[in-house]
């Protein structure tokens, strides 16, 4: 099982930026695709963005134009660049990787957007 570990969460002011990282214990090409999800206070976990092995990306409407998902296969790492952050982006962010027999989740990293 390939394990995932997120980092980069922090407290940031509205309008600010953060970059989250998700490091895999093995090759990220073990997964067909990887993605970011988030769970805000009192809310269910929701989709944020995904990236496939071919590099195709998909975003939730709420983050489109503000967030960018990317990966560095040499570092076995996936990133989420978050710009123009809003208070409603406050959540625990989780990375996920899915393959033929894999469905791995990280432990989450807290992002708080507040003045």
The pLDDT score that the predictor gives to residue 45 is 97
Region 67-82 average pLDDT: 96
Percentage of residues of the chain with pLDDT beyond 90: 89
pLDDT in tens, 80-105: 999 999 999 999 999 999 988 889 99
Region 10-29 average pLDDT: 94
Q: What are the structure tokens assigned to 50, written together?
A: 């995904």
The pLDDT score that the predictor gives to residue 101 is 86
Q: What are the structure tokens assigned to 32, written together?
A: 């067909």
The alpha-helical segments, DSSP class H, found in the chain are none
Instruction: Name the one residue in this structure whose structure tokens are 């791995």.
Output: 104
The pLDDT score that the predictor gives to residue 28 is 82
Distance, in Å, from the CA atom of 31 to the CA atom of 22, rounded to the nearest integer, reads: 13
């Amino acid at each position: 099982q390939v394990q995932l570990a997120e980092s980069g969460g922090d407290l940031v002011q509205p309008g600010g930026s953060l970059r989250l990282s998700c490091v895999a214990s093995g090759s990220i090409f073990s997964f067909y695709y990887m993605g970011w999800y988030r769970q805000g206070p009192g809310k269910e976990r929701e989709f944020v963005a995904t990236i496939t092995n071919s590099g195709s990306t998909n975003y939730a409407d709420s983050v489109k134009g503000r967030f960018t998902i990317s990966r560095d296969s040499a570092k076995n790492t996936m990133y989420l660049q978050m710009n123009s952050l809003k208070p409603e982006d406050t959540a625990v962010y989780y990375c996920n990787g899915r393959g033929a027999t894999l469905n791995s989740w990280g432990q989450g990293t807290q992002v708080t957007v507040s003045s």
